[in-house]
């Protein structure tokens, strides 16, 4: 005789690459919401391990090499660091059959890298996960591309000081900008390459919609934004209709280049995996 009982779901084991503003917010969200998710390790740059260990506690391994991170047997590796981290380690992770969540999608402005990672995931059975980041409307865009997309435009709007350390600092006198000013107009690949900490979503929108060659990108420095915020606008024209979405959100307190919603969408995607047992 057998008696059916409730199957106990295993806890999702995730490992982080990077421990900046996004990584810390993931820790904070999971601590508050208490989903069945364990952050088992964090990969940091050499020399940072001791400081990060103090922040995350003894239960989380802080390591300085990818092999050490993979020895922790994560179900998902979450990139919360940089485009270079995606280039350096993404293929290795996917070849191991481990899911990879990428937020620095600007790296995929390189079509060869994108195809290489997709192929690695297909061969191993891993999943390459691209969270929506600080934007809304990607679900509509994904559906609309099943028809004919006639125009897709993404605009990222941030205060002038958020564009410091970028080519805009050379081309414009950022502190003197008094009205909304377009600092870049071009392709997603160029936006992601030239503005690697500001414009990763340009490539995400392209990959979810009309592709790298048919997506318009504008980056705007806007001093009229409320303090501590940034904004974005998605415009889609297709044979199924039109989509126009504007978002204004809070930026990270210590990093005006990144929106709080970026980390929250990553946390939400991971929590959805648990609910769906999608790993």
Q: Is residue 63 part of a domain?
A: yes
User: Is residue 206 included in any domain, yes or no?
Assistant: yes
In a shared domain, residues 182 and 251: yes
In this structure, the answer to whether residues 121 and 160 fall within a common structural domain is: no
What are the structure tokens assigned to 227, written together? 């303090």
CA–CA–CA angle 147, 151, 156 (5° rounding): 125
CA distance 248 to 158: 10
- Give pLDDT, residue 56: 96
Express each pLDDT in 73-88 by its tens digit: 999 999 999 999 999 9
| 81 within a domain of the structure (yes/no) | yes
Segment 102-131 shows an average pLDDT of 97
CATH number for the domain that contains residue 182: 3.30.360.10
117, 221: one domain: no
Residues 145 and 228 in one domain: yes
Q: Are residues 114 and 185 in the same domain?
A: no
Q: Which of 73, 107, 130 is the last residue of a domain?
A: 130
Q: Scanning the structure block, which residue is given the tokens 């964090």?
A: 42
Residue 57 lies in a domain: yes
Nearest to 203 by CA among 117, 270, 267: 117
Half-sphere exposure of 92 toward its Cβ, with a 13 Å CA cutoff? 10
In order, the DSSP letters of 208-225 are HTT-TTSEEEEEEE-TTS
Domain final residue pick, 78, 107, 130: 130
Report pLDDT digits (tens) over 201-252: 999 999 999 999 999 999 999 999 999 999 999 999 999 999 999 999 999 8
Q: Is residue 169 part of a domain?
A: yes
51/115 same-domain check: yes
Is 175 or 9 the better-scoring residue by pLDDT? 175
- 94 in a structural domain: yes
- 162 and 120, same structural domain? no
Whether 164 is covered by a domain: the verdict is yes
Q: What is the reported pLDDT for 152?
A: 98
Same domain, 63 and 163: no
Token pair of 76, please? 């998902």
Give every CB contact of residue 134 below 8 A, 6+ residues apart in sequence. 201, 230, 232, 247, 249, 258, 259, 260, 261, 262, 265
Same-domain check for residues 19 and 55? yes
Check residue 256 and give its pLDDT. Answer: 86
Mean pLDDT estimate for the chain: 94
Tokens of 14: 């995730």
Q: Are 92 and 143 members of one domain?
A: no
Give pLDDT, residue 8: 58
Same-domain pairing of 149 and 240: yes
* pLDDT at position 62: 98
Predicted local distance difference test score (pLDDT) of residue 254: 81
Owner of token pair 């990607």: 138
Strand 181-186's sheet: what is its strand order? 181-186, 215-221, 149-158, 229-238, 241-252, 255-259
Q: Is 251 helix (H, G, I), strand (E, B) or coil?
A: strand
The residue segments making up the domain with residue 251 are 138-256
Helix and strand counts by DSSP (H, E) for the chain: 10, 12
> 90: buried, middle or exposed (CB in 10 Å: 19+, 13-18, 0-12)?
buried
Which of 130, 153, 187 delimits the end of a domain? 130
111 in the same domain as 167? no
Mean pLDDT score, 3-32: 85
**Confidence (pLDDT) at 136:** 83
Per the structure, the count of domains in the chain is: 2
For residues 13 and 38, is the Cβ–Cβ distance under 8 A?
A: yes
Residue 7 domain-assigned (yes or no): no
The enclosing domain of 55 has a CATH number of 3.40.50.720
Average pLDDT on 114-123 reads 98
Helices (H), the chain: 21-33, 49-56, 66-70, 83-95, 111-124, 138-144, 167-171, 188-194, 200-208, 260-276
């Amino acid at each position: 005789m057998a008696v059916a009982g409730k199957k106990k779901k295993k806890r999702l084991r995730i490992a982080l690459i990077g421990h900046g503003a996004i990584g810390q917010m993931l820790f904070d969200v999971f601590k508050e919401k208490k989903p069945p998710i364990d952050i088992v390790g964090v990969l940091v740059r050499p020399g940072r391990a001791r400081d990060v260990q103090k922040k995350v506690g003894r239960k989380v391994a802080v390591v300085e090499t990818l092999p050490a991170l993979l020895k922790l047997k994560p179900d998902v590796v979450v990139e919360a660091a940089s485009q270079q981290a995606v280039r350096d380690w993404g293929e290795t992770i996917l070849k191991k059959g481990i899911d990879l969540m990428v937020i620095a999608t600007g790296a995929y402005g390189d079509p060869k890298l994108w195809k290489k990672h997709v192929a690695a995931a297909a061969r191993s059975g891993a999943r390459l996960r691209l969270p929506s980041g600080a934007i809304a409307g990607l679900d509509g865009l994904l559906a609309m591309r099943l028809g004919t997309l006639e125009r897709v435009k993404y605009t990222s709007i941030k205060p002038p000081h958020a564009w410091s350390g970028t080519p805009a600092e050379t081309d414009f006198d950022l502190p003197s900008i008094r009205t909304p000013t377009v600092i870049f107009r071009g392709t997603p690949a160029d936006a992601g390459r030239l503005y690697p900490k500001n414009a990763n979503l340009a490539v995400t929108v392209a990959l979810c919609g009309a592709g790298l060659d048919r997506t318009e990108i504008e980056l705007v420095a806007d001093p009229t934004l409320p303090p501590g915020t940034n904004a974005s606008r998605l415009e889609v024209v297709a044979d199924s209709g039109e989509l126009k979405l504007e978002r204004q959100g809070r930026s990270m307190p210590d990093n005006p280049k990144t929106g709080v919603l970026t980390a929250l969408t990553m946390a939400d995607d991971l929590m959805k995996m648990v609910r769906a047992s999608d790993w």
